[in-house]
Homo-oligomer: A and B are copies of this chain.
């Protein structure tokens, strides 16, 4: 299988064979995490960076009263933890929402690559700024969108992100997450997520059976979600 990080980056800029080789070298050591287990815990000071190869991982924040909020969902090709190359200490957990296979790369090795190949270094920087742009899109959805539009926005974003790494087909993709997880991403109660999902299904724009999401009316869903993909930086450009 193709390295999903290569797919992720080459969607945004051309990669040289040198750069592709370097990326492949970064993703040699793989490791598995079962659904529900933590890859990184709050307070950790990771010494390697984690790239998702398969499965879904989430950034989970826990509040004093036990409430949980998920601030980001990571799909294959996402460098979950490039941040920790630079940051002190994790202020949240990274959890496997489904069974995951990840690649681990020791920080010094990542740093060496960014210094040897500055253009590739910029692309990894780019990956973290795309993360930030996604965070902002979530902030907007949390603050000013109806639950229905927010849910639609989430499903649009997932479709594009999964499509980039070859995990969507015919407007359809696997999304094996529970309504509990979804509630913690949308900032809603489980009960309300369930009702919102029913409303969304009732529009006929989306079907979500088992763990398969199928978008039946992309244009309708996009409009409902006011989804503009600009923030995902999908254009191939010299960076």
List residues of chain A with CB under 8 Å of any chain B CB: 59, 61, 63-64, 67-69, 71-72, 83, 86-89, 91-92, 111, 114-115, 118, 121-122, 125-126, 128-133, 135-140, 142-145, 184-187, 226, 228, 230-231, 233, 235, 237, 239
Given contacts A83-B129, A87-B129, A135-B135, 14 further A-B contacts (CB under 8 A): A61-B136, A68-B144, A86-B122, A86-B125, A87-B233, A88-B230, A111-B122, A114-B118, A128-B128, A132-B135, A142-B143, A143-B185, A143-B187, A144-B187
> Using Cβ atoms and an 8 Å threshold, which residues of chain B touch A86?
122, 125-126, 129, 239
Most buried by B among A67, A111, A231: A231
Complex Cα–Cα for A171 and B140 (A): 30
Complex Cα–Cα for A18 and B35 (A): 48
Report whether A91 and B133 are in contact in the complex, using a CB–CB cutoff of 8 Å: yes
Complex Cα–Cα for A118 and B120 (A): 13
> Using Cβ atoms and an 8 Å threshold, which residues of chain B touch A184?
143-144
Report whether B91 and A139 are in contact in the complex, using a CB–CB cutoff of 8 Å: no
Complex Cα–Cα for A135 and B61 (A): 13
**How far, in Å, is A222 (CB) from chain B's closest CB?**
12
Report whether B61 and A140 are in contact in the complex, using a CB–CB cutoff of 8 Å: yes
Given contacts A88-B230, A187-B142, A187-B144, contact A131 B132 (CB under 8 A): yes
Which of B68, B139, B233 is the one whose CB lies under 8 Å from A142? B139
Complex Cα–Cα for A44 and B131 (A): 20
Given contacts A118-B115, A143-B187, A237-B88, contact A63 B132 (CB under 8 A): no
**A234 closest partner in B (C-beta):** B88
Given contacts A135-B139, A226-B64, A233-B88, contact A144 B69 (CB under 8 A): yes
Complex Cα–Cα for A213 and B187 (A): 29
Complex Cα–Cα for A71 and B139 (A): 6
Report whether A136 and B228 are in contact in the complex, using a CB–CB cutoff of 8 Å: no
**How far, in Å, is A1 (CB) from chain B's closest CB?**
27
Report whether B133 and A136 are in contact in the complex, using a CB–CB cutoff of 8 Å: no
Which of B91, B139, B230, B235 is the one whose CB lies under 8 Å from A230? B91
